[in-house]
Structures are given as C-alpha cells and as structure tokens.
Amino acid sequence: MKEGQFRSWTDWRNEFSGNLAIFCSDERFANATLEFLRRHLDIERCDLFVVAGGPAFLTQNESSLIERLELLLRAHKIKTVALISHELCGYYSHRYSDLDSDDLRRKQLEDLSKAAALLRQMGVNAYAFFAYVENGEIVFEEVENQ
Ligand SMILES: [Zn+2]
C-alpha cells in the first residue's frame, strides 16, 4: 500500500437503495441515528442528507437545499425518506431563542410533520422521528402524521 493511502473494508456496490435519511449534523446523535436506521428501520444503506437542524430546511423554505434534495430524489430514485429531529438541537435553540424547551419541542414536532407532508407531495414515502435522551440513553420515537 502506498504511503498516504487508505483502503476501505466496505465493499463497493454500484447501486442505490432508494432510501434517504435527513437528520442534523449534531455528533451527539449522529452515530445513534445511523444505528437506528440500520437496527430499527432495517435500512442497511441509504443516502444521507445531513445538515444543521436536519429537516428544518424544508419548512424554512431554504431553496438552495430544497433544490439539491429534489435533484437527489430524482437522480437516485428515492422512494423512502426518514426524517429525524432531536432534542437539544442547537439550530432550533439558536433560531428560536425566545421559546422555552416545551415550545421548542412542539415547534420541532410541527416542523417534522410539515416536512414529511412536503416530501409526500414530492411523491415519496416519508417517516418522521424525534430523538431524545432518557436516562442517558438515546430514544427514537415516530412522530404521528398530521
Ligand atoms: Zn441539531
């Protein structure tokens, strides 16, 4: 092996699963989220759309991100999208600094439902989840569709 070179143990597979996960970049939740996708949703492989605030960009109408998402949905023939938001999200507490933690969570859950509805309008199956910490463990709960 050449110096400065690294060879991955991951097998190369030149195909797309049609799955996509959209979640926040927060490292305190990111690994658990990947585990949740694999172990709970049986999503072994998926495209990742990881950005601060996760699915919030959809309800914030951030057009450059939405444009890229639409490109991805088409190019990789995405059929199923998992949306995950999380407790203690710095994006939300920064953006909505006037809200207390209960209202912040309500806002996040509302955004999740709206984002899922938007994605369904784009023709994909969307499932929304909220992650939080309970007794030192990270728990994922499905958000009911509204
Ligand atoms: Zn976050």
Q: Residue 120 Cα, ligand 1 centroid: separation in angstroms?
A: 23
DSSP calls for 35-62:
HHHHHTT---S-EEEE-TTTTHHHHTT-
The stretch 61-67 carries a mean pLDDT of: 97
pLDDT at 57 over 60: yes
pLDDT at 145 over 70: no
pLDDT at 2 over 90: no
Rg of the chain in Å (alpha carbons): 16
Q: Residue 52 Cα, ligand 1 centroid: separation in angstroms?
A: 6
Give me the pLDDT at residue 103, please. 96
What is the CATH number that goes with domain 19-142?
3.40.1050.10
Give the start-to-end residue ranges of the domains of the chain.
Answer: 19-142
Q: Residue 81 Cα, ligand 1 centroid: separation in angstroms?
A: 18
Work out the pLDDT band at 1, boundaries 50, 70, 90. Answer: confident
Q: Residue 105 Cα, ligand 1 centroid: separation in angstroms?
A: 12
The stretch 63-78 carries a mean pLDDT of: 97
Q: Residue 27 Cα, ligand 1 centroid: separation in angstroms?
A: 9
Considering only CA atoms, which of 28, 17, 27 is closest in space to residue 79?
17
Give me the pLDDT at residue 17, please. 97
